[in-house]
A and B are shown apart, each in its own frame.
Chain A
C-alpha cells in the first residue's frame, strides 16, 4: 500500500472539512447560540485532529487539539461564542490549512509564531488558564495528539425519545395550552405526535373545559433528556410525563431488524404476552377488535415503529449510498466518450434511414433514446451546485469589509442551482473581482450611508437562477451606484471616447469593462487598478456567457452574468452554405424566414429586411466567410437574438436541429474568434460552430471602419 496515496486522501478530506468548518463558523457568527452549529464546528475539528494524528500530521493534530479544547468549552457552555472566538478560530482554520499545504505540497512551512499567537489568544479566552502550559507554546504536552480521545458525548448522536404526555383533565384551568408545549418540542428536533383520544367522551358528554387528550411524541434530536424536561418545567405537577430514550439501549442492539409491533406494545405494557399471543395473526386490527388496545395506541405504536425504521434507514443510506469520489479527468473522458457516442448515433440514424430497413430503424431509434439518456446522465454527473462557490464569498466579504471599515451583509440565494463543473471552476475568479468591486467601490462607508439616510449596514446579494438553457448569476449591491457622467468623463480622459460622443446610460456602464478603466480616485490594494472588469468580461465570454450591468445612482449596482448550463454539448441549428455546414446555437435562434431576390432588391443593396413591420439587419454568411458560388433563388434568414438585438444570418438552407458536441479548435485557430468550436456531423464531416456575438461585433467594427465612423 502506498503511503503517499493515503496522505493525499487525508489532505483532501481535511480540505473539505476545513471549508465546512469555515461555513459553520460564519453561520455561527450570525447565530452564536446554535448548539447544532457549535457541535458541527467541534466535530470537524475533532475529525481533522483524529485523522491527522493517524496519518502522521502530528503538528496539525496538536494544533487542532488546542483549538478543539477551547471549542469544547464553548460547546459545554463554559465560555460564550463571541466574535473574538470566531475570529481566532477562523485564523486557526487558515493556520491548519497552511500547515496542510506545507505538509502536502512541500511548500513553505507554516508560520509557527502565528500558530503560537492563535493558541495564546484562544487560551486567554478560556476561564481556567492551564497551569504550566509552557507560556503559550503550541505543543502543549498534555495534548494526547497521538490518540485523540473518543470524547464524543451523547449529544452528538441524534436520539429518539418517546414522550408520553398526559395532562391532568383540569390543566386548562391553570391557563396552560398543551399545544404550545408540543410546538416547543417540535423546535427541538424532528417530531411526530400521536394524539391519544381514548378518554374522549361522546360529544354530548363533552366538557369543553376539560382536557381529555393525551399525546405521544416521538422526538428525534441531538439533545439530552433534560432539555425535554425543561419544556414541561411549568406543568410538571399538572400532568403525567414519561420520557424514555428509545435508541441506543434497545434499537441499536437489534439494529438488523426493526421491532415488531407486538413487541413494542408488549414492552410498553399496553398489552401482556397472553393477550398478544391470542391476537397474533393480523396484529394491529385484531388487537383493536378484541378491545385490548385502543386504535390510538396502535397508531402510536405504529408511529414509533416508523420513526425507528426511518432512523435506521437513514443510517443505512448514510453508510452505503454516500457519494463516490472520482478524479475529474475520468469524468472528462467519460464526457468525451459520450460525445463520440452522440456523434456515432447521429451517423447510425442517417445510415438507417437511408437504407430504409425497418428493423434497423427501430434499433437506431432505441439507440438514440439510450444515448440521449446516457448523455443527460453524464451531464448531470458533471453538474455541481453553486453553493460551495457562494460560501467562499462569505469569508471574502467578511474579511474585506472589516479591512475597509465597512459593514456588509452578504445574502445568497439559489445556492442549489446546478452548473457544469468547468463553468463553476472558471466562475470563481470573475466573481471574486465583481464582489471585491462591489465592496470597495459600491458599498459606502457606514458614515456616508448614514448621511444618505441608508441603513449603515450595506447589503450584497448573490443569487443564481435557472433561465432556460442558461443560468443567471446576479451580484447586487445597495451602494453608491455607477455615475454615468463620471464614467463618460473618465472615458474621454482615457481616450476611449471623443468628447462629442453621445452615450446612453447603458453604453456608459459598459465602459467599466474597458481595459485599464477605473474610476476609483485612489488605488487600494483591493481594487482600483483598472485590471479586473475587462478580465471578468473576457473570462465570462470564454465560458460562452455574457455580462450585463445595471445601476441606479445612489441606489446600487446590479451585475448579471448569463452562463450556459454546460460547455460540452449544445443544441444547435445546422445550416448550409454552398455545401459547407455551420452550426448556430439554437438557444439564440428565434425564427427562420425566407429571403427572396425581390426582398433584396427592395432594400436597394442595404442588408436589412422587413419582417412583419420590423426592420432587421442581416449578415450574409456567404460573403462574410468569402465562400464562392452563387446564392440560390430563395435564401433563408435565421433570425437570432444577439446582444438583445434581432439580427439575421443569411444561409442557403436550414438543415435542422443538431445535437452539437463542441470540440475546441485549439490555439492554432486563436484568431478565428468568430467560431466557438467545431462539431462532427453524422456523415463524418466537420461543421464550424458560429459565435454570433463575436461575429456581430466584428462586422460592426469593420463596417464602422469602412464607413469611416470615428
Chain B
C-alpha cells in the first residue's frame, strides 16, 4: 500500500540506533544538529526527551531508542538530533529525533525496497515503510508521520495520573 510513497523519492538519510541502521526519506529532513542540552518536560513519557531551542522556536525532541523500547542511549560525540518535518493533524510540525549517529545520504531504488515482514521484527511494523538492503545489511525505512503522530507521542502515561 505504500508503493506509491516509496517511489516518489529515492534518497534516504541513514542513521544508527544501537547497532542497527535506519533510514528516513530525505524530503522529511530539515537539518541535523549536534546534541545540545534538552529541557525535560516533567511528567511526560520517557521517550519524550524534552524541548530544545531551535533558533527561537521551541521544538520537541523524541528519543527514538526509547520509542522502540531499545536500551537507553548513551550520549557520545556522535549523538545528534535529526530535525524532521512531520505531517500531523493540522499541518507540518517540526520535531527533533535523537539518533546515535548519522551515516550518509544514499539512493535506494524502489526495487531495492521490500515490504517489512509483519512479524519477527521486535518493532512495530506500522512504523516501517519497508526494508532496504545495502552490502548485505538491512536498512529499516521509517514511516515518520506514523511514528510521530500526536496519538503516538501523547500516549504512554499521561502526566496527570499521579
Name A residues whose Cβ lies closer than 8 Å to a Cβ of B.
339-340, 343, 580-581, 624-627, 663-675, 677-678, 680, 684-688, 698, 701-702, 705-706
Contacts and interface: CB of A to CB of B under 8 A. Distances in A.
B39 A668 contact: no
Interface in B38-79: 39-44, 48, 50-53, 56-58, 60
B53 A666 contact: no
Given A685-B53, A686-B52, A673 B160 contact: yes
Nearest to B62: A668
28 contacts: A340-B56, A580-B39, A624-B42, A663-B58, A664-B58, A665-B41, A666-B58, A667-B93, A668-B48, A668-B93, A668-B95, A668-B153, A669-B154, A670-B154, A671-B44, A671-B154, A671-B160, A672-B43, A677-B58, A678-B39, A684-B53, A685-B39, A686-B51, A686-B52, A688-B39, A698-B162, A705-B162, A706-B162
B42 A626 contact: yes
A675 B41 contact: yes
A667 B51 contact: no
Given A663-B58, A666-B93, 10 more contacts: A339-B56, A665-B58, A667-B89, A667-B90, A668-B93, A668-B95, A669-B41, A677-B58, A678-B58, A686-B52
A667 B87 CA distance: 12
B43 A674 contact: yes
A672 B58 contact: no
A702 B162 contact: yes
Contact of A688 (B41, B53, B56): B41
B7 interface: no
A686 B153 CA distance: 20
Contacts of B58: 663-666, 677-678, 680, 686
A672 B44 contact: yes
B37 interface: yes
A414 B110 CA distance: 66
A473 to B, nearest CB: 29
Interface residues of B, number: 28
A339 B58 CA distance: 13
Contacts of B50: 686
B27 interface: no
B9 interface: no
A580 B153 CA distance: 23
A599 B50 CA distance: 34
Contacts of B10: none
Contacts of A340: 56
A674 B159 contact: yes
B150 A670 contact: yes
Contacts, number: 85
Interface of B: 37, 39-44, 48, 50-53, 56-58, 60, 88-90, 93, 95, 150, 153-154, 158-160, 162
A391 B104 CA distance: 61
Contacts of B60: 665-666, 668-669
Contacts of A705: 162
Q: Which 3 A-B pairs have the closest CB atoms?
A: A625-B42, A702-B162, A686-B39
Contacts of A706: 162
Contacts of B154: 667-671
A170 B58 CA distance: 84
Given A343-B56, A671-B159, A687 B39 contact: yes
The residue among B37, B88, B162 with the most chain A CB atoms within 10 A of its own CB is: B162
The residue among A625, A665, A671 with the most chain B CB atoms within 10 A of its own CB is: A671
A343 B95 CA distance: 21
B96 to A, nearest CB: 11
Nearest to A579: B37
B43 to A, nearest CB: 7
Contact of A580 (B40, B57, B160, B162): B40
A267 B39 CA distance: 80
Contacts of B48: 668-669
A626 B42 CA distance: 7
A567 B150 CA distance: 24
B150 A673 contact: no
B125 to A, nearest CB: 23
Contact of A685 (B37, B89, B93): B37
B89 to A, nearest CB: 7
Contact of B51 (A581, A624, A678, A701): A678
B150 to A, nearest CB: 5
A663 B89 contact: no
A672 B162 contact: no
Contact of B44 (A667, A669, A702): A669
Contacts of A670: 150, 154
